[in-house]
Structures are given as structure tokens and as C-alpha cells.
Structure 1
Amino acid sequence: MAALQRTVSELREHCPWTAALDHRALAEYLTEEAEEVAEEIRAGVTGEPLRRELGDVLLQVVLHAQLAAERGEFTLDDVAEAMYAKLVRRSPHVYRPDGTLDPQQASLEEIEAAWQRIKAQEKSEEGE
């Protein structure tokens, strides 16, 4: 991951095409790459072809994070930290609020209901 981040940073600095990219320009590539992953999955393709397509999506995430880091907004580590925190919050059947593993029995329906309830609560708190 460090090599990928370094390479993206170097490309932003030394490649005029990459340096000219912004979030809007990258948006279509993110959508395109995500759709290619979905197509592979729907076709039942796994292994190496899926790994390559997922790498293309990862590149988009790293590029967007690099753009944000250049503006002092957030880093790739910040993106990962936010996702970690979200997964812990939305999985109370697996984790305590502090992130300690504490698996509990729960049905698929209970898990989905909790995920949606917590997601709605987060959105409500964001609007405050």
C-alpha cells in the first residue's frame, strides 16, 4: 500500500496528465471501474481477473485521497480509520463500542435492522 501511495504521489508531481486530475475528472473513472468489478462478480469471475479489477477501484480511492491530502483535507489513513470506526459502530453484534471483539448471536434480520437503525442515526446526527 505504501508503494502504491508513493507512486500516486510521484505521478501527481511528475506526470502532467495525473497532475491535472481533480475529483470531478476522476468521478467517471471511479464509476467505470466500480461497474467493471460488478460485471466480473455478476459473471462469476473471481481470482486474478477480479483482483486486477479491484486494484483499479483501489487506485481511484488512492487518487482521491491523494488529492484531498494535497489540500490538507484528509489522508488515505483517515479514510481507512473512518471505515474501521463505521464497521465497529454498525456491527454491535460483533464489537463493543471500543472496538473490542465480542461476538453475539444475532439473526440476519436483526443484523440488517441494527445496521439500518445505526445508519439512520448517523445521518440524523450529521444533519444536526
Structure 2
Amino acid sequence: MSLANINICRDNDDPFYRYKMPPIQAKIEGKGNGIKTRVLNATDVARALARPVPYVIKYFGFELGAQTAIDEDKEKFLINGVHENSKLQDVLDGFISKFVLCQSCKNPETVLKVEKNGRISKDCKACEVKQIRNCFC
């Protein structure tokens, strides 16, 4: 079953917006204390955002206060606990706002660079603005 792509910037409701991504698909696995949420299409979402998959999954763990497990070879991405698709999509919007969209033009054509001193710089290819952040804030 294939779901229709959604706008990367969900605030933009233009059906012809050219920057699209698949909506998050998650599945609950296990039971009791070992219950986990598996993100089924993390690779496709990260590819649409032009970011590495571990950045997205680790952001989920950080924002949800949960441990994560990443196995890129088997495309297995787990977040401890039960997390609904809608909640994960809302958390992903935070990631997109902080680390994908340009703060000036709201365009997702940005390049993320993690420097050795812990700073994160984001260069916009559309408006050529450079933004710098100190880690996750």
C-alpha cells in the first residue's frame, strides 16, 4: 500500500509544492517492557529530506526521550516505546524546521555540515544564507 507524498513543509498546503516526502509509517513490535516502534520507511523519508537516516532517528530518540537502535544494513530503525504515526510526524516537523528548512526563505534546499567544535551550519542553496547552531537546541 503506497501512501501519497506530503509537503516537506506541512504549513504549505499548495498541492503543487515541489518538495515532497512520504509520510512516516511505523509499526509497534513486541510487548510488555520490550515494546518498540519500528519506523518502516525511515530511509525514504531521510532521502527526501537529504539527511542521513541516523540524524532523523536520533532526533526522534532525543525529542521523545527514548533509546533508539539503528541497523542501516538491514534497514531496521527502532525507537523504544509506543509512538503513533501522527506523533512521529509532528516530531519530524520539528526536525525539518530546525535542520532542513532555511530560516529565511523556508526552502528545503539546504546543506547541513557538522563541524568538529560541535556547531552545525546550514547553507541554503536557494538564498545563499548561512545559519549556525550550537548542537541540539
Q: Same fold (TM over 0.5)?
A: no
Q: TM-score range by the shorter chain?
A: 0.3 to 0.5
- Scaled by the length of structure 1, the TM-score of the pair is 0.35
Larger strand share, 1 or 2 = 2
Greater helix fraction, Structure 1 or Structure 2: 1
